Structure 1
Amino acid sequence: MADALAATLPAVREAFAADAAALDALIAAADGPFVVRGLVADWPLVRAGLQSARAARAHLLDHARSRDFTVSMGAPQDSGRLFYDADMQMNFRMGQGRLPAIFAGFDAAESHAQVPTVYLGSVDIEQYFDGLAAANPMPLSPRSALASVWIGTPTRIAAHNDFPDNLACCAVGTRRFTLFAPDQFRNLYLGPIDNTPAGRAVSMVDLAAPDFAVFPGFAEALRGAQVADLNPGDALFIPSLWYHHVEAFAPFNVLINYWWRDTPRFLGQPQNALNHAVLAIRDLPQAQRDIWRQMFEYYVFSGGDEAAAHVPEHGRGVLAPFDADTAGRMHAFLLRSLSK
């Protein structure tokens, strides 16, 4: 069903970037995702993976630090879908081990037809590898980006979104991204925000077998969905808040991605504000929620100009645009408030 569904969806548009400056210009002008074929085809990791999975693992091991890596392990019958079980608990278990031992398991699995799912997700490259980033350099111009590596057997990761912009580079194996615009969150039927496979609420719809009787709005989400099939060396730009369902197909797959935000980091994470609002506002009586909705519009979603206009400029405090100092004071104020 997944392949048949993907065949009905339009492909993500493709673009060409001759260098980092050209890629930055494409990103700055983008109003949606796009693919750049062969963007990182010259990476040694990509070239090693084209030789063999073992060669790719050897390249990673050459740079791995001597520390424990966190690994997720799923049962073979779940076909790589890292998700919830019938009790809404995770259908995989977590473990830790050194990368040589983990990769020895991949080596042994090459001779077996059915193997458990093994997945190392969002591994911080700087913390867990020495020289890997230099050997396989970021194709963007210099910026403050978090570089992560994703390693695993065939997997299916439910649709979710991320707050930062994202450049996902397929290094080893093949991947398929199915993308949905940010405004489709209702039609994706997101699960709980406090019990998630990896920190972000995920769609409860199984793309391999969508149940339109249970999730009728998903048909609307599909009308605007796009698909990107990535081969080794290809890259996909995923703008902030775009939902993406991710499938990895090869027996051994590696993806390196870069997350960054163009707004200052001191502004904090919007998800934390949503979580706190659910706690503090959602269960109030309707009349009170209506007032708080208006106050949020007045102070937050409107941009706050009206709320600050009548206050002398030198006394506006957090009603004025934030800088690092005022944001720091606001963080401290919130911590004190939450600790009471």
Structure 2
Amino acid sequence: MRSSAAFFRDEDTLREMRQELRQEKKTLTHQLQTLTMQLAEKEQVSAAIKSELQQLKTSAALASVIRQVPRSAMLSASSSGLPKPKTAAQWGERVLDQKLENQCLAEDLLVLKMAVQDKQLSLQRKQKRRDEMSAKLTRVPRRHLLTLVDVQVEIARLLEEKRALESQSPRSSLRVEKELVTTSRTGANAASATKTVLQSELTSLEITAERYKEELRQWGLRIDCEKARLAPLEKRLVALQQELKRYEDSQVLLRSVFLRLGPDSRDGCVALDAALTAFQTLAPLDQPPVAYEDMAARLQDSKILSADGMNEQRVSFTQFTQAFECLFKS
């Protein structure tokens, strides 16, 4: 009995081991299939890369050969008219030649575009320089502007005066020279005195101008400070105006006053006399006061209230708000 029990126990163990081995075999078989598929994919990718590399080598070799040929010869050969290709290889060579030619033309076009951009930049700089010179010329007073004709006329006049002075006698020349010396001395003295006065006036004016500039700068600083202080106040004012507008549109104040008048629980209305008295209390301060009779007449004219039974007429909240807008906002 002991041997049979041991045998059955060993048989169960063998079965478990067999199942584990089968499971492991299945796992290994699946992994082998996966690796085989990956290897096949890698081989296909490698073949494609090798083919592409071979094509690139061929293109590079052909490009190196074509680059050795002068570009003008290539263009002339292409323009002269080659025989029509017959095979796919010839068509491929023709397409490759055309691509290389297009690439060369694109490079030439890029160079020309860069040259055009350089010329445009140079032209813009020259135009800017011309505008600056024109602006400087416009700032020069017209009395200081002289044309070439004016200069030539002035030179001719001075030459005529020189000839006239040279043609005079030496005595007259001496007399003229003495007069000129005397006049020049007198003029020099007067000019020096005038120059001193003008320099003193100019100094005082410069001091005054500097003082005014300093005052102007101080006022500018004050204005900037006031603007800086005014900006948040303006924002606050806008916010308050918006809040006031929302408050007015919500009609909270009118409803509060209407409820204080004690509307009837049956129809929710108040007496007309109480409403008109409340309107006199709610009248804006920037508007002149309106009398009781005038308010009643205006409400009758606007068809908000009927003319029949004015003393016993009652006002709803809708009529109350319409009457307020008619009296004070229209």
Query: TM-score normalized by structure 2?
Result: 0.16
* Higher strand residue share: 1
* Higher helix residue share: 2
Return the structure number with greater relative CO, CA threshold 8 A, min gap 6. Answer: 1
Query: TM-score normalized by structure 1?
Result: 0.15
